[in-house]
Amino acid sequence: MDEQTGQQAGVPGAYAPPPQGFGPPPPAYAPAPQPQPPHAPSPYGAPPTPPSPYAPHPPAAAPGPDFLAADRRNAVVVDAEGVSLESNGATLDFPWRDIATVHYKPGPGGEVLMVAVALPDGRFYEGVVVARNRAKLQEWCAQLAPVLGHYLAGRGH
């Protein structure tokens, strides 16, 4: 083999690798250095790290039971937020933190549900919903009792 041409002796055009290892890439193929922006500390501190879409999410709070009784003009809603009384398009919302207790009973005639929300300062607000019949009123009363019990439990009322 000829050391200067890298050809085997007697074989024209044959290539033999150079005796040393690979060298650096030619300048046209070398990656260009990326300019780095100047780093100035933020007066507000480090920006928040966005949550990873792959990180486990905390489990959502299990929703509590809810109750809805409504007629054409009035409604009573009891859910995890509190109690809402609607009468002729006007709604009063009472969050649980503002409620001392809630009372209910069948009204006169046996087809009306009466619900009263009592506040700690003694004020109370009533909502009245007309049931289609006595069976519906009994169904509402049976549904409302455990829902109120769930939210009022441990409050001493």
Contact predicate 105/115, CB 8 Å: no
Residue 60 is predicted with a pLDDT of: 47
Q: What are the 10-residue block averages of pLDDT along the chain, 157 residues in total? A: 52 55 59 63 60 56 84 96 95 96 92 96 96 94 96 74
User: What would you report as the CA-atom Rg of the chain, rounded to the nearest whole angstrom?
Assistant: 39
Query: What are the φ/ψ torsions at residue 145 (nearest 5 degrees)?
Result: -55, -55
**Number of neighbours of residue 100 by Cβ within 10 angstroms:** 16
DSSP code of residue 136 = H
Query: What are the φ/ψ torsions at residue 10 (nearest 5 degrees)?
Result: 85, -5
Please name each of the domains of the chain with its CATH number: 67-152 (2.30.29.30)
